[in-house]
Structure 1
Amino acid sequence: MKRVHQSIFKRVISTLLIFFNLLILFPFNSLATNEDTLKVGGVYSGFKLISQKNINEIDSNTMVFNHEKTGARLIFLKNNDTNKTFSINFRTPPKDNTGVNHIIEHSVLNGSKKYPVKDPFLQMNKQSLKTFLNAFTASDYTSYPVSSKNEKDFFNLMSVYLDAVFYPNIYDNPYILMQEGWRHELTSKDAPLKYNGIVYSEMKGALSSPESALHSTINASLFPNSIYKWNSGGDPDSIPNLTKEQFLNTHKEYYSPSNSYIYLYGNLDILKSLKFIDEEYLNNFDKTNINTSIKPQKSFTKKQIVVDKYPISKGSSTKNKTFLSLNYVVDTVKNKEDILGFAILDKLLFGTDNSPLKKALIENQLGNTAYSQLDVQKLQPTYSIVVSNSEESKKDKFEKVIKKTLKEIVKNGFDKESLDAAFNSYEISTRLENSGASRGIGYSGSVMLGWLYDQDPTLYLEHNKDINNIKKKIEKKYFENLIEKYLLNNKHSSLVILKPSPGLEESKNTELKKKLEDYKKSLSPKEIENLVTQTNEFKKWQETPDSEEALNSLPSLSISDISKSIEKLPTVEREIDNIKILDHSLFTNNITFTNMYFDSSGIPQDKLLYLHLLSDMLGKVSTEKYDEKTLSKLVSSNTGSIRFNPKTFSKYKGNGEYYPKLAVSLNSLDENLLKSFELVEEIINKSKFDNKQNIKKLINEKISELESVVNNYTHSIALSRAISYISEEGKYNDLSIIEYYNFLRDLNKNYDSKFNDIQKNLNEVSNIIFNKNNLIVSYTGDKENYSKFEKSFKSISSKIKDGKFEPQKYEFDYSTKNEGLTLSSKVQNIAKVYDFTKLGYDYSGKMKVLNNILNNDYLWQEVRVKGGAYGGMFDIAPTGRLVFLSYRDPNLKETLNVFDKAPDYLRNFKANDKDMTNHIIGTIGNIDAPLDPNQKGSIADMYYISNITDEDLQKERDEILNTKSEDIVSYTDMIEKAMKENYYCVVGSESKINENKDLFNSVKSAVNNE
């Protein structure tokens, strides 16, 4: 996804853990390079080395520089990670809700002085070996990160980004703002006047969910006189207020080297990098006086109470759809120890279903779901306690329960088991979250967490000392003191009540339509004519291709820069007690990742939804040996997590054949492996489904979770639903969302009469699933620790039952297709699919190149650039699945038409050798994305179960490398036939879908409105 907006970015990294690198999975070795000659105080290509220190926790040598001519700041994390990372960041405090910084983030990547193509970002995305290429707008800064393992490619990407931010074409081309931000669109003098624009559409989608609305309201409630009251991504109601002058002036003000923070990471030549950055860019600027300092919000003298609304569909019930949130400002990021402490305190309060505050809120029936959010992406971090599916009338009880529970904790303290579990959970989760192959990107966020607020940029790169200090203070009631200081006695707080408003979105749409009609009426005939001309000229500009000369200005690679061979993932077949073991020996720094794949093909069709329910119950219900609370503590104390997930594996080129499994995934420190397996055995063999109250609570929580999924991942819903029209595997997997949601609603509605059946069916499904029959277990861990794994697993292998259950033959109903699923949304998500094997075509690696071309040329231009959608996607898989998808799309019929016209594009496709080389390089870059050991193990499992061999993968790679222009053209008929089959699903705006209801076989709400 291009250019991650702050709301998505915060959702992914909303907790402190993403930035807290307490431990790291891969220790780096020191490098003997020319960096060893650098001395503090020395000047290198205009950069003065201010400080240098080794940080053992991340095994990196950190060097902090200042560019003397401009004042640009730069930090380098030196280590031997071959995945090199660069980012340039600017402090960009917002001043209103126009989203100007977000729009600038998009716009500067639309051509620059050195690279005068319309979209260098797109071009590099399709022709680079990048391992990461994106940009995002946070609440107070904007970041442009890239990474690549290839040095030439790394410098190419760095050049494109530096040229984009310092020399963008936005000053000479007004169409860029119109395309990326917003524009009036009038196709003829009699046509309706509309707003359009990529960020405008993106934010209409982003703010459609109640969780996003709640986040914005919380910030506004806690920071009424601070920059954080604004939505830096932009509010669709305010985005059209952005003027060209404000847009350009904001770039002039903020995008100065004097306001920049440059980050370098990995095994790279720092002297060469400094020389490049100085000579090519920074040396052309002088220091400027710019004040982007961020002032704290003055503390409140009393709690604020804010009531706001979010839209739901007209005619929907408002019962139990209110969000209640109690929110606090927690010091500033400068107080690292307390911020770290609060991250651990959050685990104590909300880490599991049996954590005291979460449990109290649910048991007092304040809502179906209770959760917390620690948001450190601002100068003053915030902590929110939230319940969903509640009522405004419960707000007083909500506060009372929170305060009573917290006071009891302060009085009685936390027991040792809870503390041990919290620290263990924090340590393991931090190690896991920072062990990713793109850890250089994660450290960039850690650096900015201190640097942005004028602190040492290494502040949040080392934590062991702080954690040890916290542990020493436990006896002095450290966590109880945090509760008193920041929660019980903190006046800088707010109570937010977010209420559902049926028809609110429809009402806003009507108001907007009238506003645009009135504006059009106010225009003179000449002004209307000018607006039509502007619209037509703008579209002509969009449709005009870049010149060959402009395209040749972009740096590129050659086929010789690509590895011709696949990376082979280690898999050794072993056996323990007649159970197949897949040994993936990889360095994991003493963390073992285990996947147990239980065959679920024996589940009767009428019990498939109970398979999902069982997965959601396991580990959260009592067992013969442990009650729910004790089990929860033991899991937290001994494992990173134990997860249960129904999934399918498609047989490679298997004409629809697939293997349904229940995956039990475990990660654990090696010293805890034996106890971890004992817990798994206890859960799968001895779980009890007799606690009527607890199971009802879990069902209600899952209902709320699924409602959130539908509201926040609507493109995934559209895709899953559309695929269910064309394959049995699609039908099987689609049960997990809307069908499962409706099933749970029915159970909840008739709970008392159905409880006995629930118990019976859960036990029956569990008995079928947890058997040795076709069980496959995989080990991913250090080679020298396999013997420990084998010994530990043998402690439970003999206790796994050995029943035999015949595979079931499922008979799904395929009569449903072409649905319009409505939500209270401002945009659409459109999926159109088919199975190309049914048309007589075989899979080839050349289809991967087709994938790259349709994504980055055709759909980008037609769906995003011209259509104003946030994104469009094409995907094709060896299973036969062929997918067109758009998301956060203001259009509907027009986008389906774009999908249908893809064959016309392919029929006329022409590419010279250089173009094809670029397409091939981009394709290889996509499939060679870096993987951490856990990902490698899971993918190796998939290869094994799906019967994908190294020979298959090498053949696919060879086909990619040998793809010609005529190969792409040859897929024209396949795409045309697939589109004529006409299988699609749309999830989105109720009004838009109803306007086009003739396109659908059925129109209904995506979720139950009762």
Structure 2
Amino acid sequence: QEEVDRPEDLAKIPTLTLGDLDRTIRMLPTDESDLFGARLMHHDLPTLGILYLDLGFDLKVLEPALLPYLPLFGRALLQTGTSKEDFVSLTQRIGRTTGGISQHRSLATRLDNDETAAWFFLSGKSVPAKFGEMLDIMGEVLLDARLDNKERIRQMALEEKAGFEARMIPAGNSIVDTRLKAGLTEASWAAEQLGGVSYLNFLRDLVKRIDSDWAGVEATFRRIRDVLFNRKGMVVNLTADASLFADTRDALASFVEGLPQSDAVAHDWGFAAEPKSEGLVIPAQVNYVGKGANLKALGYEASAASAVVLRFLNTTYLWDKVRVQGGAYGGSSRFDLSSGNFSFLSYRDPNLLKTLDVYDGAAKALRAGIGETDLTRSIIGVIGDADRPEFVDSKGYSAMWRILTGTTDAIRQQRRDEILGASQKDFSALADALDVLAEKGHVVVLGGETAIKAANDQRPGLMEVSKVM
């Protein structure tokens, strides 16, 4: 077991080649039409007799001050009951009638205009015989949830706060990533308002205001509902066989027609790119060290081939330097092709400045070159991620989300071509961008006070320090 395998023996193991990979993207059917002012998308896919429905509402109609309320607002729709039944009864009814009803939010930078795609979704699935009943439940949840249920909403706020604080250490690298990018693009700023350190601070204040100013809190929840749930401009996304769609279209049309309609105005959230370096103090013996920037703003011409470069960087240089030699539990880099946001991240890291130095040395590592075998393996790995199997409901949702973010099939094919054609020049191009990031990028560290103070002492002004917990 300890003997090193000979190259000639390794060469006998069957492996994929680039010639084994599909050159073209997988396309999904999408039919679009108008449904009483709503944008209807239907995906004719074999669903084995199940209808998958997503109702989407544009968050840009909300003032920016309302965004932090959305996680609790979404929970309140499904967990406060309605005027007809309490929370327990509603939950049991959903279980009897449907395959589940859920809510979530999605945020991204659009590809066609660099604006923000920000949507609230209520999703459900049912068999055809129960589709009408599912629509009834969804309608009641959207328009009749007990937003005046003070005790339940206080309980949920306390749960949210406690849950976030409990996740602070296990999910420290994600929290750093969210905070790092909040000053780079509007979509990332909104994500931090909905699930970052800013959201935690909001929850701490909200818990107090529920007792001191419940009338104001309730009025805010009601305002979100009144403004957000508007069939004009909403998206109705249905994934089902054509025959099922034909049988249920009338019920769906009647449901949409019954929703409120008004002329909603998209708000300017007033975002301005203001990245800053921060040290976020928590009671921990390890650190989560991040450094990043928006590479588009630094002049990098984004290519999907960057995914190949990052895969190699993550599995070689960062693995060796941050995890193996540095002693951290993990080290990685992330790049969002749509926004241009790039970040280096470490997980449960005993170091701080040493890790930042590793990040700054990444460009040199990329310029060292890559062998054809490693390049092929990295390309195959990226294509494998892109072609990962999806459940049929996820296929329909993904097709809708690509439309909402301006990700056309032509762009998808271009990206695939760039991945399959990745070469050393792509490594050099990203290396040039990371050289600029090393100089101009900003730092966010979540960790112990001693380590953050020591880093600031060695490099004065490195981080603006604040206590999170």
Fold shared, TM-score > 0.5 on shorter chain: yes
Contact kept in structure 2, 1:600 and 1:768, CA below 8 Å: no
Partner deviation per Cα, 1:469-512 (whole Å, 9 max, x = no partner): xxxxxxxxxxxxxxxxxxxxxxxxxxxxxxxxxxxxxxxxxxxx
Contact kept in structure 2, 1:772 and 1:801, CA below 8 Å: yes
Cα offset, 1:970, TM superposition:
2.6
Is 1:732 the equivalent of 2:194?
no
Count of residues in Structure 1 that have an aligned counterpart in Structure 2: 464
Q: Measured at CA, do residues 954 and 572 of structure 1 come closer, stay the same or move farther in structure 2, by a change above 3 Å?
A: same
Map 1:966-1005 to 2 at 5 A: 966-998=425-457, 1000-1005=462-467
Corresponding residue for 1:669? 127
Contact kept in structure 2, 1:653 and 1:843, CA below 8 Å: no
Contact kept in structure 2, 1:773 and 1:803, CA below 8 Å: yes
Secondary structure of residue in 2 paired with 1:971: helix
Match of 2:40 among 554, 565, 581: 581
Secondary structure of residue in 1 paired with 2:47: coil
Secondary structure of residue in 2 paired with 1:947: coil
Corresponding residue for 1:719? 177
Contact kept in structure 1, 2:275 and 2:442, CA below 8 Å: no
Q: Measured at CA, do residues 794 and 861 of structure 1 come closer, stay the same or move farther in structure 2, by a change above 3 Å?
A: same
Partner deviation per Cα, 1:921-980 (whole Å, 9 max, x = no partner): 222122221211122122112111111111111111111112222331232211111232
Q: Name the stretch that deviates more: 937-946 or 666-675.
A: 666-675
Q: Give the Cα–Cα distance (whole angstroms) in 2 for the partners of residues 571 and 114 of structure 1.
A: 52
Letter in 2 for 1:608: L
Partner deviation per Cα, 1:886-920 (whole Å, 9 max, x = no partner): 21222211111111111111222243x33332222
Corresponding residue for 2:81? 622
Q: Give the Cα–Cα distance (whole angstroms) in 1 for the partners of residues 335 and 411 of structure 2.
A: 16
Letter in 1 for 2:333: F
Match of 2:143 among 685, 691, 696: 685
Cα offset, 1:871, TM superposition:
1.7
Contact kept in structure 1, 2:41 and 2:235, CA below 8 Å: yes
Contact kept in structure 1, 2:51 and 2:125, CA below 8 Å: yes
Corresponding residue for 1:891? 351
The higher relative CO (CA closer than 8 Å, separation ≥ 6) is in 2
Is 1:746 the equivalent of 2:205?
yes
Corresponding residue for 2:229? 770
Q: Give the Cα–Cα distance (whole angstroms) in 1 for the partners of residues 261 and 141 of structure 2.
A: 17
Match of 1:906 among 366, 369, 378: 366
Q: Measured at CA, do residues 649 and 800 of structure 1 come closer, stay the same or move farther in structure 2, by a change above 3 Å?
A: farther
Q: Give the Cα–Cα distance (whole angstroms) in 2 for the partners of residues 809 and 570 of structure 1.
A: 34
Secondary structure of residue in 2 paired with 1:837: coil
Cα offset, 1:752, TM superposition:
2.8
For normalisation by structure 2, the TM-score amounts to: 0.92
Corresponding residue for 1:1006? 468
Contact kept in structure 1, 2:33 and 2:41, CA below 8 Å: yes
Q: Give the Cα–Cα distance (whole angstroms) in 1 for the partners of residues 62 and 126 of structure 2.
A: 30
Match of 1:818 among 252, 267, 277: 277
Map 1:331-480 to 2 at 5 A: none
Contact kept in structure 1, 2:289 and 2:345, CA below 8 Å: yes
Partner deviation per Cα, 1:322-343 (whole Å, 9 max, x = no partner): xxxxxxxxxxxxxxxxxxxxxx
Cα offset, 1:686, TM superposition:
1.7
Cα offset, 1:552, TM superposition:
5.1
Letter in 1 for 2:178: S
Secondary structure of residue in 2 paired with 1:924: helix
Match of 1:597 among 56, 59, 66: 56
Letter in 2 for 1:775: M
Cα offset, 1:791, TM superposition:
3.0
Contact kept in structure 2, 1:710 and 1:1006, CA below 8 Å: no
Contact kept in structure 2, 1:556 and 1:918, CA below 8 Å: no
Is 1:877 the equivalent of 2:339?
no
Q: Give the Cα–Cα distance (whole angstroms) in 1 for the partners of residues 343 and 168 of structure 2.
A: 20
Cα offset, 1:832, TM superposition:
1.6
Contact kept in structure 1, 2:77 and 2:146, CA below 8 Å: no
Secondary structure of residue in 2 paired with 1:712: coil
Match of 1:846 among 280, 302, 305: 305
Is 1:757 the equivalent of 2:216?
yes
Q: Give the Cα–Cα distance (whole angstroms) in 2 for the partners of residues 795 and 836 of structure 1.
A: 47
Q: Give the Cα–Cα distance (whole angstroms) in 2 for the partners of residues 670 and 997 of structure 1.
A: 62
Q: Give the Cα–Cα distance (whole angstroms) in 2 for the partners of residues 957 and 926 of structure 1.
A: 12
Cα offset, 1:988, TM superposition:
2.6
Cα offset, 1:114, TM superposition:
6.9
Secondary structure of residue in 2 paired with 1:831: strand
Q: Give the Cα–Cα distance (whole angstroms) in 1 for the partners of residues 322 and 353 of structure 2.
A: 12
Unaligned runs of 5+ in 1: 1-110, 117-547
Q: Measured at CA, do residues 730 and 837 of structure 1 come closer, stay the same or move farther in structure 2, by a change above 3 Å?
A: same
Secondary structure of residue in 2 paired with 1:886: strand
Q: Give the Cα–Cα distance (whole angstroms) in 1 for the partners of residues 328 and 176 of structure 2.
A: 15
Contact kept in structure 2, 1:829 and 1:987, CA below 8 Å: yes
What is the aligned-residue RMSD (CA, Å)? 2.3
Is 1:919 the equivalent of 2:381?
no
Letter in 1 for 2:31: V
Contact kept in structure 1, 2:209 and 2:217, CA below 8 Å: no
Contact kept in structure 1, 2:70 and 2:194, CA below 8 Å: no
Q: Measured at CA, do residues 659 and 689 of structure 1 come closer, stay the same or move farther in structure 2, by a change above 3 Å?
A: same
Secondary structure of residue in 2 paired with 1:996: helix
Q: Measured at CA, do residues 553 and 712 of structure 1 come closer, stay the same or move farther in structure 2, by a change above 3 Å?
A: same
Corresponding residue for 2:394? 935
Q: Measured at CA, do residues 579 and 979 of structure 1 come closer, stay the same or move farther in structure 2, by a change above 3 Å?
A: same
Contact kept in structure 1, 2:300 and 2:430, CA below 8 Å: no
Q: Measured at CA, do residues 1001 and 566 of structure 1 come closer, stay the same or move farther in structure 2, by a change above 3 Å?
A: same
Letter in 2 for 1:682: E
Q: Name the stretch that deviates more: 855-864 or 552-561.
A: 552-561
Q: Give the Cα–Cα distance (whole angstroms) in 2 for the partners of residues 863 and 690 of structure 1.
A: 50
Map 1:146-545 to 2 at 5 A: none
Q: Give the Cα–Cα distance (whole angstroms) in 2 for the partners of residues 603 and 822 of structure 1.
A: 32
Corresponding residue for 1:461? none
Letter in 2 for 1:617: A
Letter in 1 for 2:468: A
Contact kept in structure 2, 1:863 and 1:872, CA below 8 Å: yes
Letter in 2 for 1:842: E
Q: Give the Cα–Cα distance (whole angstroms) in 1 for the partners of residues 16 and 81 of structure 2.
A: 58
Q: Give the Cα–Cα distance (whole angstroms) in 1 for the partners of residues 215 and 277 of structure 2.
A: 37
Secondary structure of residue in 2 paired with 1:975: helix
Cα offset, 1:638, TM superposition:
1.7
Cα offset, 1:630, TM superposition:
2.3
Letter in 1 for 2:37: N
Q: Give the Cα–Cα distance (whole angstroms) in 2 for the partners of residues 933 and 597 of structure 1.
A: 18
Give the percent of matched residue pairs that are identical in Structure 1 and Structure 2.
28
Q: Measured at CA, do residues 797 and 990 of structure 1 come closer, stay the same or move farther in structure 2, by a change above 3 Å?
A: same
Match of 2:157 among 699, 715, 733: 699
Map 1:36-47 to 2 at 5 A: none
Secondary structure of residue in 1 paired with 2:465: strand
Q: Give the Cα–Cα distance (whole angstroms) in 2 for the partners of residues 872 and 959 of structure 1.
A: 26
Secondary structure of residue in 2 paired with 1:970: helix
Q: Measured at CA, do residues 949 and 785 of structure 1 come closer, stay the same or move farther in structure 2, by a change above 3 Å?
A: same
Cα offset, 1:746, TM superposition:
1.4
Contact kept in structure 2, 1:831 and 1:884, CA below 8 Å: yes
Cα offset, 1:720, TM superposition:
0.4
Q: Give the Cα–Cα distance (whole angstroms) in 2 for the partners of residues 817 and 733 of structure 1.
A: 17
Contact kept in structure 2, 1:573 and 1:580, CA below 8 Å: yes
Letter in 2 for 1:984: V
Q: Give the Cα–Cα distance (whole angstroms) in 2 for the partners of residues 550 and 821 of structure 1.
A: 50
Cα offset, 1:723, TM superposition:
0.6
Contact kept in structure 1, 2:277 and 2:443, CA below 8 Å: yes
Q: Give the Cα–Cα distance (whole angstroms) in 1 for the partners of residues 8 and 364 of structure 2.
A: 26
Partner deviation per Cα, 1:105-132 (whole Å, 9 max, x = no partner): xxxxxx865746xxxxxxxxxxxxxxxx
Q: Give the Cα–Cα distance (whole angstroms) in 1 for the partners of residues 307 and 112 of structure 2.
A: 15
